[in-house]
Amino acid sequence: MIDDKTPQRPDGLAGDEPHSASHSEPTVETTVMPAMHTETRTVVKTKSRKLPIFLASLLGLAVGSVLVIALVMSGAFRITGTNVESAASGATQTIEIDPEDTTLSEAVAAKALPSVVSITAQGETEDSGGIGSGVILDTDGNILTNYHVIEGASALVVRTDSGDSYEAEVVGTDESSDLAVIRLQDAESADLTPIDLADSDDLTVGEWVMAIGSPFGNEQSVSTGIVSALYRSTALQSTSGTSIYANMIQTDAAINPGNSGGALVNDEGKLIGINSVIESYSGSSSGVGFAIPVNYAINIANQIIAGETPVHPYLGASLMSVNAYNARQNNLAVDSGAYVAEVTADGPAATAGIEAGDIVTAVDGEPISSADGLIIALREHEVGDKVTLTVMRGKDEKEIEVELGSDEALQVEQQDASDGNGSSGGMTEEEFLRYLEQYMGGRGGF
């Protein structure tokens, strides 16, 4: 993955195989900068189609995305007795084991599998929709999954580890984070096992992990591996908008279509991430998968369950990427960075003293090479955080501290504008581009 904001994400697209998304260029009227060179990557979000496995494989599974990620191997559970106990949301989960014959993988699977579900998203026609995964958050029936798993669904059916199936409804979504919460309609009659949560800030490269989900529709499947890397960031585009993935967990555990929204757990069977993206030329596992860290995912989920609008850091500027070509054409002082084309009046950038024509080259001392890179760097922070932007103003370099605002008002405005258009709360690509340009500096073609 790259550290700027627009790798490709072919989710929710019709066609025979995943494709490489490309980046169009921003079109801000206040600048005369020419179109910029952009990169293309093959980053796939995979949601298993509701088709026979062999046929789904042939079709390339280009709709949506699913993930499965590795486990972290360090010999936990301390298997010394005849069972393993863990507290989940006040309830005690007891797993009977044979301490002499039970392996770590067996113990982790026994503990975590009851907390992972298969989600069938039914579309408008019998052949539309797909299959993804989700994790049980509580006994009220709230389930965390990826937005792209349930995107555009007319009905949702959830199957638990016990084999029971339930209808579910959408509680809320955060499309730009690719997260959603759904709720079982008859949760009071369900025997639910909420998943235990780990602290994703404590992860280290090389830890053992297990990915749990429904690859190719094969429910309750597990795969193991390690944490390959941390703090991977990217952004992926679909026909309905763009999702920003910051600080993701990279793993070599097998991840395939149908795993999206499923669990990445550690050697204690605790959730460390939500499987969401793979990087692959074929659309299937290539040993490079990514999960949204649980700390971030649960924060968004809690806001959704509380009936709040999930908020993200807000800068208040429209941005364009600087490269060697447009730098020479426009006689700019640097040949990389994020060019500030316009500043929103009374926004955080304007309040801090950022001006149109400034070029942001670093955030807190970390170099920024593009508009995408700045957007991802800011998304890695929280609303209210103060960041120091290094900017070139003409030939002068300045350090400017900015307190990041909240994009809630913009989201409400955008939602009001999209009401009545037949959508299920999501933004069109054009609306999302405009939204990004307003609050953080959207680049065309996200």
pLDDT tens digit string along 387-430? 999 999 999 999 999 999 988 877 766 666 655 443 334 444 44
Give the integer Cα–Cα distance in Å for 44 and 288: 11
Q: Is the pLDDT of residue 442 over 50?
A: no
How would you class 186 by CB atoms within 10 Å of its CB: exposed for 0-12, middle for 13-18, buried for 19 or more?
exposed
Q: What is the pLDDT of residue 380?
A: 86
Q: Is the pLDDT of residue 282 over 70?
A: yes
Q: Which residue out of 115, 148, 174, 285 is catalytically annotated?
A: 148
Q: What is the pLDDT of residue 116?
A: 98
Q: Which of 310, 329, 358 is the last residue of a domain?
A: 310
8 Å CB contact between 144 and 133: no
Residues 299 and 373 in one domain: no
Residues 226 and 345 in one domain: no
Residues 59 and 34 in one domain: yes
Alpha helices in 219-293 (DSSP H): none
- Residue 364 annotated as catalytic: no
Q: How confident is the model at residue 234 (pLDDT cuts 50, 70, 90)?
A: confident
Residue 441 lies in a domain: no
Residue 18 lies in a domain: yes
Q: Which residue has better confidence, 311 or 1?
A: 311
Q: Which residue out of 260, 284, 369, 370 is catalytically annotated?
A: 260
Residues 160 and 235 in one domain: yes
Of the ranges 8-12, 178-182, 339-343, 406-410, which one carries the lowest mean pLDDT score?
A: 8-12
- Residue 148 annotated as catalytic: yes
Q: What is the pLDDT of residue 167?
A: 97
Residues 155 and 265 in one domain: yes
Give the integer Cα–Cα distance in Å for 366 and 349: 18
Give the integer Cα–Cα distance in Å for 207 and 227: 5
Residues 302 and 319 in one domain: no
Residue 209 lies in a domain: yes
Q: How confident is the model at residue 375 (pLDDT cuts 50, 70, 90)?
A: confident
Query: And the tokens for 387?
Result: 């960041």
DSSP-derived letter for residue 125 is S
Q: How confident is the model at residue 284 (pLDDT cuts 50, 70, 90)?
A: confident
Q: Is the pLDDT of residue 295 over 50?
A: yes
Q: Tell me the mean pLDDT in the region 268-289.
A: 92
* Number of separate domains in the chain: 2
Q: What is the pLDDT of residue 10?
A: 28
CATH of the domain at 398: 2.30.42.10
Q: Tell me the mean pLDDT in the region 364-378.
A: 90
Q: Look at residues 352, 351, 369 and name the one whose alpha carbon lies nearest to residue 360.
A: 369
Q: What is the pLDDT of residue 34?
A: 38
Residue 434 lies in a domain: no
8 Å CB contact between 133 and 213: yes
Most confident among 20-24, 69-73, 316-320 (mean pLDDT): 316-320
Residue 419 lies in a domain: no
In tens, the pLDDT along 316-343 reads 998 899 999 999 999 999 999 999 999 9
Q: Which of 250, 277, 310 is the last residue of a domain?
A: 310
Q: Which residue has better confidence, 93 or 122?
A: 122
CA of 421: how far to CAs of 309, 310, 415, 424, in Å?
A: 20, 22, 10, 9
3-state secondary structure of 295: helix
Residues 275 and 324 in one domain: no
Q: Which of 255, 289, 310 is the last residue of a domain?
A: 310
CA angle 372, 286, 14 (to 5 degrees): 65
Q: Which residue has better confidence, 83 or 225?
A: 225
Q: Is the pLDDT of residue 265 over 60?
A: yes
The average confidence (pLDDT) of the chain is 76
Q: What is the pLDDT of residue 37?
A: 38
Give the integer Cα–Cα distance in Å for 396 and 361: 12
CATH of the domain at 283: 2.40.10.120
Q: Which residue out of 3, 161, 178, 196 is catalytically annotated?
A: 178
Residues 235 and 324 in one domain: no
Residues 20 and 120 in one domain: yes
The β-bridge partners of 276 are: none
Residues 305 and 378 in one domain: no
Q: How confident is the model at residue 91 (pLDDT cuts 50, 70, 90)?
A: low
Domain of residue 233 covers: 1-310
Q: Look at residues 412, 418, 413, 439 and name the one whose alpha carbon lies nearest to residue 430.
A: 418
3-state secondary structure of 256: coil
Residues 260 and 401 in one domain: no
If one counts every other C-beta atom within 10 angstroms of the C-beta of residue 335, the result is 14
Q: Look at residues 217, 244, 233, 216 and name the one whose alpha carbon lies nearest to residue 290.
A: 233
Of the ranges 11-20, 166-175, 271-280, which one carries the lowest mean pLDDT score?
A: 11-20
The β-bridge partners of 132 are: 119
Q: Is the pLDDT of residue 36 over 50?
A: no
- Residue 252 annotated as catalytic: no
Residues 290 and 342 in one domain: no
If one counts every other C-beta atom within 10 angstroms of the C-beta of residue 420, the result is 7
Give the integer Cα–Cα distance in Å for 293 and 238: 22
How would you class 27 by CB atoms within 10 Å of its CB: exposed for 0-12, middle for 13-18, buried for 19 or more?
middle
Model's pTM, two decimal places?
Answer: 0.71
Residue 340 lies in a domain: yes
Helix axes 408-418, 429-439, angle to 10 degrees: 160
Residue 412 lies in a domain: no
Q: Which residue has better confidence, 235 or 55?
A: 235
Residue 117 lies in a domain: yes
